[in-house]
Amino acid sequence: MNKIEGVIFDWAGTTVDFGCFAPVNVFIDIFKKAGIDVTMEEARAPMGLLKIDHIRAMLSMPRVSALWEEKFGRSFNEQDVENLYAEFEPALLASLTEYTDPIPEVIETVETLRKQGLKIGSTTGYTNTMMDVVVPNALKKGYSPDYYITADDTNSFGRPYPYMIYRNMEALSLSASCKVVKVGDTPSDIKEGVNAGVWAVGVIIGSSEMGLSLDEFHALSESDQEKAILQTENSFRQNGADFTIRSMSELPKLIEKINQHISVGKRPNAR
């Protein structure tokens, strides 16, 4: 059958944790403890990467790197990355339960997709230990994919490498990349989809890329909401997204549209 067989979702900022706040706050805290004040924007920029890669990416930012040299009299090294990560993991695990609420429209959308016969996979920047907290708590609240995997199971090759997507395809018996949709909320999610040759879709409202809580988003004027949506959409497009959706309820209709593209022979690599 020449149509989409499965959808692979990200977790935080896509299906749970509106705005993806669990890791961001911890990144800011661990750098502060090391005597480096990072901004919310700097903490969010590498979002979606494996968390140790995220710390490495933050330390490589010119401003953060310069602050590190100023404080310690040398460039950061791999031991510094590992030391910061050793602070990060227990701090995140301590608060992670609080950030497992499904994002509005996710449970209903997943139910609709399943009724249409689609498999539901997932990839994440979290580790297996972190997912041991997230998965059962999300399940209690009504969200559970058919399969999930972390970079712990792909030799630590997380996003933007495509391997977690390929493992989903294998586990869920999805027959071809062109019959798979990847939905995420960060540039690294989009790049993961592009590198896997699947249809890459960015979800805007509730995304880490937008970086607003539910209350903050609703507090904006309509014109400011539109501005934030457009800015996030542009970022996804610049990183190679095939499509964007404002919220998850738009996904089933988008999949119908993608099925039409497939039927006339368009493939994701025809970007």
All domains of the chain in start order, with CATH: 6-20+99-263 (3.40.50.1000), 22-98 (1.10.150.240)
* Sheet with 199-203, side-by-side order of all strands: 119-122, 6-9, 180-184, 199-203, 243-245
User: How many C-beta neighbours within 10 Å does residue 41 have?
Assistant: 8
Q: How confident is the model at residue 2 (pLDDT cuts 50, 70, 90)?
A: confident
Q: How confident is the model at residue 13 (pLDDT cuts 50, 70, 90)?
A: very high
Chain center to CA of 72: 33
The CB-based long-range contact list for 36-39 (8 Å cut-off, 24+ gap) reads: 36/64, 36/67, 36/68, 36/71, 37/67, 38/64
Catalytic residues: 10, 51
In angstroms, the CA 5 to CA 268 distance is 15
Segment 41-53 shows an average pLDDT of 95
pLDDT at 267 over 80: no
- 184, 193 in Cβ contact below 8 A? yes
Average pLDDT, the chain: 96
The alpha-helical segments, DSSP class H, found in 96-239 are 106-115, 128-140, 163-171, 187-196, 214-219, 222-238
Say if strands 119-122 and 199-203 run parallel, antiparallel, or are unpaired.
unpaired
In angstroms, the CA 59 to CA 24 distance is 15
- Nearest-5° angle of CA 166, CA 170, CA 174? 95
Closest CA to 150 of 261, 52, 228: 52
What percentage of the chain reaches a pLDDT higher than 90? 96
User: How many C-beta neighbours within 10 Å does residue 156 have?
Assistant: 13
Q: How confident is the model at residue 269 (pLDDT cuts 50, 70, 90)?
A: very low
- Nearest-5° angle of CA 199, CA 205, CA 209? 75
Give the number of residues written for the chain.
Answer: 271
The residue with greater pLDDT, 206 or 266, is: 206
In angstroms, the CA 108 to CA 177 distance is 25
Q: How confident is the model at residue 271 (pLDDT cuts 50, 70, 90)?
A: very low
In angstroms, the CA 185 to CA 204 distance is 7
Residue-wise pLDDT for 146-178, tens only, equals: 999 999 999 999 999 999 999 999 999 999 999
Q: Is the peptide bond before 136 cis (omega within 30 degrees of 0)?
A: no
Q: Which residues are annotated as a binding site for Mg(2+)?
A: 10, 12, 185
Q: How confident is the model at residue 54 (pLDDT cuts 50, 70, 90)?
A: very high
Segment 14-29 shows an average pLDDT of 96
Closest CA to 184 of 163, 169, 166, 199: 199
pLDDT at 9 over 50: yes
Q: Which residues are annotated as a binding site?
A: 10, 12, 185
pLDDT at 16 over 50: yes
pLDDT at 266 over 80: no
What pLDDT does 211 receive? 95
In angstroms, the CA 56 to CA 146 distance is 31
Q: How confident is the model at residue 268 (pLDDT cuts 50, 70, 90)?
A: low
What pLDDT does 270 receive? 42
